[in-house]
Structure 1
Amino acid sequence: MRPILLFVMTMLICVGVDAQNEVLKVWPNGAPNDNGMREPEEKYDGVRVKNVSEAEMYVFLPEKEINTGAAVLICPGGGYVIEAMDHEGYDMARFFQEKGIAGIVLKYRLPYGHDEVPSSDARRAMRIVRANAEKWGINPEKVGIAGSSAGGHLASTAGTVFDEGNAQSNDAVEKMSCRPDFMLLLYPVITMNEEFTHMGSRGNLIGSEHKLKLVRKYSNELNVNAQTPPTFLILADDDKAVPPRNSIEFYSALKRNNVPAEMHIFQKGGHGFGMRQEGLPANNWPNLFVDWLKAREVIE
């Protein structure tokens, strides 16, 4: 094979593997709050990260020919102490990209005792997606949020406590709404109620003390109202890390407020399956989610 042809083929393969279009800093001019982390960010097992002190967004856009105009901001899980950027982040974004949906992975700042930091990153990231909607070929009314485990808690926090933007702001991004148009929650931590929360996530977000105001603030089953976006929930009955009651309580709250929702509880899958293909029925969730988006006419 001629060297030039071999080079071209190699480049095409590389493009297919790494379909990321853009990387953005969430707070290019500095965040309004600080998580206190001064140690360098660390990666291990390839793409898991810890010591995150700067939020970034990794943008995976679909080809124009298949673009549906929808987008999903993705919050990887990891107990608010690490972030599983692979099977709960990049892999999910690539799947959406192939389905004509923009997948945008959020590497949010971890809290380290500063509870407001992750959710401020998520809300800002939602605004950034809408501010870039025209550039990225996105319909600003079809921007959802997804999250797995503790990332599901972050996503459900952004999906229950939001605003429509500040029209008086000098910052064009801050004028945008941070309300998701839909939510995808995978085996999410929902509550801070010690009766059925994931205590590791709770401790890393709000500390080990029983601070009633923070427990109430971040128990998202109590924050649902009629404006909460339609939600798609996925979990496994044999999840031993995050009790299924988290999702069940959230689903029940959605129904009490007449919010459209769909929930799938698979017999097997455990916790943290994300996009891993292990031959289990739970791994069909991405296609079920796409079908739900079609049923809701978010995509065709």
Structure 2
Amino acid sequence: MTRPPLLQSLSFLVCLCLANSSVVFAEQPANTTEPLWPAGIPGVELTGDGDVPSLIITKAESDTPTAAVVILPGGGYGGHAMGHEGHEFAAWFHSMGMSSAICTYRLRGKGNDGKGYGHPAPMQDAQRAIQTLRARAKELNIDPNRIGVIGFSAGGHLCSTVSTHFAEANEASEDPVQRVSSRPDFSILCYAVLSLGKPHTHKGSQRNLLGVNPAPELLASLDTPTQVSAKTPPTFLFHTAQDTAVPVENSLLYYRACVEHKVPVEMHLFNDGSHGLGLAKKVDGANQWPALCQTWLTRLGMVKP
């Protein structure tokens, strides 16, 4: 059946618009990469692949200071999922008028002559990333009181760690970055590894972070649902029931801890979708979470309505 000329023209325009929108979405905004510890990393003298954590900074275009977020990709503390949990989110935040910095924190992968890095190296790097954005707020056109953090899977555990363990400001430090606090102003946890030492713990992430037989007190200190306090920043959680790699119990316990400590918290759970969804563009139901998160950020005053 031949379509009338008008319908043919409309179909062509719809296809053209869809194609153009996908191209725009796929485009990555300009960014700069710089070392996280330019004056030297505490306790590290090596400079090989994996030894030097970096910040990949994407600045929003604005006449006034914007909110910003540190992005912590997942990867089981053994790698970085830089695509769907890194650069795609830098572009997403940029589209909302927010600046971002992907932090390639040290982990149990490359580096340290092949031995890798466990705790506290990832935490130190993530704390430093937040402090860097805050200390350089004027230079980067960032509001120092609107700096948050987002993490995925094991990166979500790291996100929850820096949301419950803070590097306090040291005003006497010679390093200007250490003169400001690492406490984030908001926290976004996506299908995050949150519980350690529990039946629903992601064992690979725990092993990479803490080794085979961690001390009980160290394990307990990084079981982050038990570390939530009134100082924990406003939190957004996203998870799916079908996630068998990191069970939804991780998010449920963290949510309950936030409620108990009167931390503003919002959680969205979906049935469908396996682990590592990122923006979940192809999963019905779960693909609603980015819009819900954007609405939450707007209510917090991080994004303009």
For the aligned pair, the TM-score class normalised by the smaller chain equals: 0.7 to 0.9
**SS at structure 2 position matched to 1:243:** coil
Matched, 1:155 2:153: no
- Aligned partner of 1:59: which letter? I
Q: Is the Cα–Cα contact under 8 Å of residues 273 and 283 in structure 1 kept in the other structure?
A: no
Shift of 1:299: 2.6
Return 5+ residue gaps in structure 2 as ranges.
1-22, 109-115
Residue 110 (str. 1) matches residue 110 (str. 2): no
> Are 1:27 and 2:31 an aligned pair?
no
Alpha-carbon distance in 1 for matches of 2:57, 2:284: 29
Equivalence map 1:164-179=2 (5 Å): 164-179=168-183
Structure 2: distance between partners of 1:114 and 1:92? 25
Structure 2 residue identity aligned to 1:64: S
Aligned to 1:121: 125
Question: When the two structures are superposed, what TM-score results if normalisation uses the length of structure 1?
Answer: 0.86
User: Contact between 2:71 and 2:103, CA under 8 Å: does it hold in 1?
Assistant: yes
- Separation in structure 1 between the aligned mates of residue 287 and residue 80 of structure 2, nearest angstrom: 20
Aligned: 1:133 with 2:137: yes
TM-score by length of 2: 0.85
In the other structure, the counterpart of 1:215 is 219
Match of 1:183 among 180, 184, 187: 187
Matched residue, 2:5: none
> Which one is further off, 277-286 or 246-255?
277-286
Q: 1:101-130 CA deviation, whole Å, 9 max, x = no partner?
A: 112111111143531000000011111001
Contact 2:234 2:265 in 1 (8 A): yes
**1:38-117 alignment to 2 at 5 Å?**
41=49, 52-64=50-62, 69-111=66-108, 112=116, 114-117=118-121
**Larger-gyration structure (1/2):** 2
Cα pair 1:188 1:242 within 8 Å, conserved? yes
Classify 1:100/1:169 alpha carbon distance in 2 versus 1 (closer, same or farther; 3 Å). same
CA distance in 1, matches of 2:139, 2:65: 14
Question: Mapping of 1:224-235 within 5 angstroms?
Answer: 224-235=228-239
Please identify runs of 4+ aligned residues in structure 1 that moved more than 3 A. none
Higher mean C-alpha displacement, 273-282 vs 114-123: 273-282
Paired with 1:239 and 1:204, the residues of 2 have a C-alpha distance of 20
1:291 aligns with 2:295: yes
Letter in 2 for 1:54: V
Counterpart residue number, 2:240: 236
Q: Name the CA distance, whole Å, in 2 between partners of 1:191 and 1:183.
A: 17
Residues in 2 aligned to 1:276 and 1:267: alpha-carbon distance in whole angstroms: 13
* Structure 2 counterpart of 1:179, one-letter code: R
Distance 1:191 1:20 in 2: 36
Q: Cα offset for 1:163?
A: 3.3
Give the residue type in structure 2 aligned to 1:226: A
SS of residue matched to 1:224: coil
Corresponding position of 1:145: 149
Q: Matched residue of 1:64: which SS?
A: coil
RMSD of aligned C-alpha atoms? 2.0
Secondary structure in 2 matching 1:135: helix
| Distance in 2 between residues matched to 1:218 and 1:261, nearest whole Å | 20
Aligned to 1:278: 282
Per-residue CA deviations over 1:152-181 (Å, capped at 9, x if unaligned) read 000110010003310110111110110000
Displacement after TM superposition at 1:209 (Å): 1.1
User: Aligned in 2, Cα 1:215/1:133: closer, same or farther, shift over 3 Å?
Assistant: same
What SS does structure 2 have at the residue aligned with 1:118?
Answer: helix
Q: Is the Cα–Cα contact under 8 Å of residues 33 and 117 in structure 1 kept in the other structure?
A: no
Residues 82-102 of structure 1 show CA distances to partners (whole Å, capped at 9, x for unaligned) of: 110110011001010011011
